[in-house]
Amino acid sequence: MELFCREKEGVVRALLDPTIFSDDRVLQSLLTIEDMFLPQAPYFQRVQKDLQPYMRRVVATWMLEVCEEEDCEQEVFLLAVNYLDRYLSVVPTKKSCLQLLGAVCLFLASKLKS
């Protein structure tokens, strides 16, 4: 069995779409969509029955310490906490899974920013 990678070297990127930067409707549409998907503030009362707000603070502090230890860009931590809040605002989560969730959010954010 041959396991050689036959892909070409280099990164393939999409071409820049000039419409995104020239049409104001695109930005307005993106901002409207963003509002629909922002995490709802009181998610601890509505969604999370097993978690308390201080637990989010503990995991966020741990995430910050990991980012500092690994010399991550500042955006990685901010994006990871955003992912954490978006997930917690929708999916009921056990407290035994909270640190794992924080690690996954850090991993995804670091992959997006690298």
Q: Quick check: pTM over 0.75? A: no
Task: Mention every residue, 6+ apart, whose C-beta is less than 8 A from residue 49.
Answer: 92
Each domain of the chain, given as residue ranges in start order, spans: 41-113
Average pLDDT rounded to a whole number, residues 52-57: 95
Which of 113, 105, 17, 30 minimizes the C-alpha distance to 72? 113
Distances (CA, A) of 29 to 11, 20, 23: 30, 11, 11
* pLDDT averaged over every residue in the chain: 87
Confidence band (pLDDT; 50, 70, 90) for 6? low
Structure tokens at 49: 């029955």
Task: Give me the CATH topology for the region 41-113.
Answer: Cyclin A; domain 1 (1.10.472)
- Helix pair 53-69, 98-113: axis angle to 10 deg: 40
